Amino acid sequence: MRPSRHFRDDPHEEEVDENTALLEEADDGTFSIHSEEHDNTLPARIKSNWNRFVEKRIPVPLRRASKATVKWVKGPQPPYIYTIEPIFPAIQTTPIHLVDRFLPKRRHKAAALLFFYFSWLLIFSLVLRKSAFATEIEGFGVPVTISCAARYWDNGNGCGLNGDNCRPFGNSTLAFRCPADCKRVQLVDPHAVGDQEINYRSLVIGGPSDPDEPISSSKYRGDSFICGSAIHSGLISNRQGGCGVLSLIGEQKDFPATKKHGISSVGFDSWFPLSFSFLDGTATQCEDLRWPLLVVSVIFSSLLSLFTTSPAIFFWSIFVGLFFHVALASDPPSLSNYYDLISLAFGRFLPAAFCGTVIYRYCARRTLTNLTAQIEKTVLWLGACWVGALNNYTFDKIPIQRLTPHDIQQQPGAIPALIIVVLSIFFIALGQAWCFRQEGRMPRYLALYGFMGTCLIIMVLIPRMNLRIHHYILALLLLPGTSFQNRQSLLYQGLLTGLFINGIARWGFDSILQTPGQLQGNAQLGSSLPHIRPPIIPSDGANVTFTWPRRVPDGYDGISVLVNDVERWRVYEDETERWEDGFTWSRNDDVSMYFRFAWMRGSGAADYTRAGVWKRNGEWEEMESGPSLVDGEEAKDLNSQAEMNQADGSGIRGRENGNEEVSEVRPTFYVDI
């Protein structure tokens, strides 16, 4: 028989018989026997009378059903405490026997553990240094580390009139470094390119006109993802990332749509003022070594899991090791300066360690104490923990980016995936609830989750705020339901712990309550749209003129015009003559032109209309109703604000080059309500 384990929430308190006789001391020092069964004191009689009064007014079937329900919820007496008996115990306990044989004393074990930690840290640091710091590219200097979504052009009118805020357009080069797996970075909201709306794909516009031409012949529009374009061109690999040099080539037209190296680019049949290509022979061996680092961390964490039985040593070693592996290697925040990344990781670790203390104290300790199934613990708990910590490679594949009705209807495969996820959680919850009943702990955990649910409902009711359950919050909500020592709880607990680690190491402690403005990002504002009169096109088709009503909606003072996704004209209401003359655009090339219009407040534009097309044959194609989706919030888009930093004069628009973390949308498992 395994020795009993006592935890704060164990239902093992000594039962007190209501009929137990108690000794009571009288005023004269003598003792008399007092039985609670025959307590005729006034409070007892009042309580008894009240109970009879209530019972008479409750129907007998309802009383019986309620008593049966309460009895069922309390579970069996005595409760059944789950423990794991190892499969093939002789094999699973072999690592423990080896430790006891070769390290018999406590100080021997402590010294071996310290040496183990030192070896893990040393090997991890050496590989990380080689992965994080690139050598120079001859003639171009040290590459600038950019994120998978770095690009040169802002949304809407973010680059200003004629794109002047995003100059230079040409005669400039940039040595850059891309992380691995940038092919998976996709848009999560529709984005307008001319009269097209693209979504759930990489933002790469253009490419080579002939697949057999050299890399330098490829041309990409300036608002394309640089790393996605580099993979598309074949300059770097998706699996290992890499370095290269791009060249700004100014205004280009006719960007072809091609599919290369697993990325389908978008075509654009007109001109754009900023374009880039890649220089042949500049790719260097500055690989992203996240996969070798994963091998190192998996080997060391597995060895520790096999050879230790202490729940505290196991939990905290894995928690710390996986946290810094995610923060520095497998899914690091997008910062160009690696020392800033290390600083950010340590800043997030301290509050994460406090949460880890709560997780260990109230969830993991019960599951791991006296557990000798070393192989099962390694496969189920540690393996699942790695699956959760590598969320960007595991659950990121589920086609659910945000649990909003709009996104679920729009994203392919989201509805079946949501049904599967909900049903899985439901049946898992039923199984865990049964375990709580068997251990006699269901009443207190029903109270706990009732309290959590009440708090969430209160947050939903707070006006002008949105409840946003990120995946680290989801893990914290579900972890208390895994505090058993059975095999399925090992699996669930490891998975949720890994999700928590990934959520904090990658994204930080985002608030559970956020304002609509924080959730808005660059998405549509729902603003009013300008009413544009039918354009005036002369018989020779040399130009086109647009006019609009004199009245401006309240709150706006001007109008902005985009031509081929570039702001080419803006006018304010107090400029009477320009306002009444309207906007005239002359045709210089035999290509189609795309026009969109938006009201302005100061220098900021509201929602743009959909694109009207002035075709190359001179005909006008009227714009469809509704707003353009050029400003839709983009996954991992670096251009979510007008105020941007620049990296070494390269002109890349993005916050990854400063100390501020890039603005990215969390991948999966969060809920916007």
Same domain, 220 and 358: no
Contact at 8 Å (CB) between 368 and 385?
A: no
Distance CA 382, CA 493 (A): 9
- pLDDT the model gives residue 33: 45
Task: Tell me, yes or no, whether 76 lies in a domain.
Answer: no
Same domain, 340 and 234: no
Per the structure, the count of domains in the chain is 4
pTM above threshold 0.85: no
Task: Tell me, yes or no, whether 86 lies in a domain.
Answer: no
Residue whose C-alpha is closest to residue 568's, from 202, 256, 270, 276: 270
Distance CA 528, CA 547 (A): 17
How is residue 123 written in tokens? 């090997």
Contact at 8 Å (CB) between 207 and 260?
A: yes
Task: Tell me, yes or no, whether 295 lies in a domain.
Answer: yes
Distance CA 339, CA 74 (A): 54
Same domain, 508 and 396: yes
Q: Which domain holds residue 615?
A: 543-621
User: Which residue, 475, 501, 517, sits at the end of a domain?
Assistant: 517
CATH, residue 602: 2.60.40.10
Task: Tell me, yes or no, whether 673 lies in a domain.
Answer: no
Same domain, 503 and 354: yes
Same domain, 436 and 511: yes
Task: Tell me, yes or no, whether 254 lies in a domain.
Answer: yes
Report DSSP state, residue 208: -
- pLDDT the model gives residue 332: 92
> Average pLDDT for consecutive 10-residue bins of the chain (673 residues)?
48 43 45 47 65 70 82 90 94 95 94 97 94 82 90 88 92 92 84 86 91 86 95 92 93 93 94 94 84 96 96 98 96 85 95 97 95 96 98 86 69 86 93 94 94 95 89 95 95 97 94 77 66 88 87 85 93 85 87 92 85 91 76 34 34 41 35 38
Same domain, 465 and 348: yes
Same domain, 115 and 210: no
Q: Is 299 helix (H, G, I), strand (E, B) or coil?
A: helix
Q: Where are the alpha helices (DSSP H) in 566-626?
A: 576-581
Same domain, 555 and 579: yes
Q: Which residues contact 571 (CB under 8 A, 6 or more apart)?
A: 558, 559, 578, 579, 583
Distance CA 289, CA 180 (A): 8
Give the CA diameter of the chain. Answer: 122
The pairing of beta strand 612-614 with beta strand 620-621: antiparallel
Amino acid in the structure at residue 241:
G
Distance CA 596, CA 269 (A): 17
